[in-house]
Protein backbone atom coordinates (compact mmCIF):
# COMPACT_ATOMS: atom_id res chain seq x y z
CA UNK A 1 0.00 0.00 0.00
CA UNK A 2 1.30 3.46 -0.90
CA UNK A 3 1.94 6.06 1.76
CA UNK A 4 -0.19 9.18 1.98
CA UNK A 5 1.28 12.28 0.39
CA UNK A 6 -0.17 14.68 2.93
CA UNK A 7 -3.35 16.24 4.19
CA UNK A 8 -4.17 18.25 1.05
CA UNK A 9 -3.02 15.72 -1.57
CA UNK A 10 -6.09 15.72 -3.82
CA UNK A 11 -7.37 19.25 -3.24
CA UNK A 12 -7.54 22.00 -5.81
CA UNK A 13 -4.83 24.59 -6.23
CA UNK A 14 -7.23 27.10 -4.75
CA UNK A 15 -6.36 25.89 -1.24
CA UNK A 16 -2.61 25.77 -1.72
CA UNK A 17 -1.21 29.03 -0.48
CA UNK A 18 2.39 29.99 0.22
CA UNK A 19 1.40 32.26 3.09
CA UNK A 20 3.29 31.76 6.32
CA UNK A 21 1.44 31.74 9.62
CA UNK A 22 2.54 34.45 12.05
CA UNK A 23 2.37 34.29 15.82
CA UNK A 24 -0.33 36.98 15.82
CA UNK A 25 -2.52 34.82 13.57
CA UNK A 26 -2.25 31.89 15.96
CA UNK A 27 -3.15 33.83 19.11
CA UNK A 28 -5.73 36.33 17.83
CA UNK A 29 -8.92 36.55 19.86
CA UNK A 30 -12.54 37.14 18.94
CA UNK A 31 -15.53 38.27 20.97
CA UNK A 32 -18.81 36.38 21.25
CA UNK A 33 -21.23 37.50 18.51
CA UNK A 34 -18.48 38.83 16.23
CA UNK A 35 -18.84 38.20 12.47
CA UNK A 36 -15.97 36.22 10.90
CA UNK A 37 -14.92 34.82 7.53
CA UNK A 38 -13.63 31.25 7.28
CA UNK A 39 -10.41 31.44 5.24
CA UNK A 40 -8.56 28.12 5.18
CA UNK A 41 -4.81 28.03 5.71
CA UNK A 42 -3.80 24.49 4.66
CA UNK A 43 -0.32 24.71 6.15
CA UNK A 44 -1.92 24.53 9.62
CA UNK A 45 -4.10 21.66 10.81
CA UNK A 46 -7.47 22.10 12.48
CA UNK A 47 -9.40 23.51 9.56
CA UNK A 48 -13.00 22.59 8.73
CA UNK A 49 -14.02 20.81 5.53
CA UNK A 50 -12.88 22.73 2.42
CA UNK A 51 -16.51 23.30 1.32
CA UNK A 52 -16.81 25.87 4.13
CA UNK A 53 -13.97 28.03 2.77
CA UNK A 54 -15.20 31.58 2.20
CA UNK A 55 -18.32 31.23 4.38
CA UNK A 56 -19.38 33.92 6.83
CA UNK A 57 -20.42 33.08 10.35
CA UNK A 58 -20.85 34.30 13.89
CA UNK A 59 -18.71 33.39 16.91
CA UNK A 60 -20.79 31.44 19.46
CA UNK A 61 -18.18 30.51 22.07
CA UNK A 62 -14.56 29.68 22.69
CA UNK A 63 -13.74 25.98 23.04
CA UNK A 64 -10.16 25.37 24.15
CA UNK A 65 -7.91 27.29 21.77
CA UNK A 66 -10.54 27.20 18.99
CA UNK A 67 -13.87 28.91 18.39
CA UNK A 68 -17.34 27.60 17.64
CA UNK A 69 -18.69 29.38 14.55
CA UNK A 70 -22.38 29.20 13.59
CA UNK A 71 -23.03 29.22 9.84
CA UNK A 72 -26.05 28.68 7.63
CA UNK A 73 -25.62 25.90 5.06
CA UNK A 74 -28.58 25.83 2.64
CA UNK A 75 -30.96 26.83 5.41
CA UNK A 76 -29.53 24.42 7.99
CA UNK A 77 -27.74 25.98 10.98
CA UNK A 78 -24.37 24.35 11.63
CA UNK A 79 -21.71 24.79 14.30
CA UNK A 80 -18.09 24.46 13.20
CA UNK A 81 -15.11 24.25 15.54
CA UNK A 82 -12.38 26.31 13.87
CA UNK A 83 -8.87 27.30 14.92
CA UNK A 84 -8.28 31.10 14.97
CA UNK A 85 -5.67 30.76 12.20
CA UNK A 86 -8.50 30.02 9.76
CA UNK A 87 -10.71 32.95 10.83
CA UNK A 88 -10.67 36.55 9.64
CA UNK A 89 -12.59 39.39 11.23
CA UNK A 90 -15.27 40.94 8.97
CA UNK A 91 -15.22 44.71 8.93
CA UNK A 92 -18.57 46.46 9.17
CA UNK A 93 -19.61 48.02 5.89
CA UNK A 94 -19.38 51.79 5.96
CA UNK A 95 -22.41 53.68 4.78
CA UNK A 96 -21.87 56.08 1.89
CA UNK A 97 -23.40 59.48 2.59
Give pLDDT tens digits for 22-61: 777 777 899 999 999 998 887 777 778 888 989 999 999 9
CATH 1.25.40.340 for the 14-89 domain, yes or no:
no
- Which of 38, 34, 42, 36 shows the shortest CA–CA distance to 15? 42
Share of the chain above pLDDT 70, in %: 77
Q: Where are the domains of the chain?
A: 14-89
Predicted TM-score (pTM) above 0.85:
no
Half-sphere exposure of 68 (CA within 13 A, CB side): 9
Helix (H, G, I), strand (E, B) or coil at 59: strand
- Which of 23, 19, 61 shows the shortest CA–CA distance to 41? 19
When computed from its CA atoms, the radius of gyration of the chain, rounded to whole angstroms, is 15
Amino acid sequence: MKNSKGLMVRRTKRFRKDKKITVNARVKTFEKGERVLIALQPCFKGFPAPRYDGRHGKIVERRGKSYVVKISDLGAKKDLIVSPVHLRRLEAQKEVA
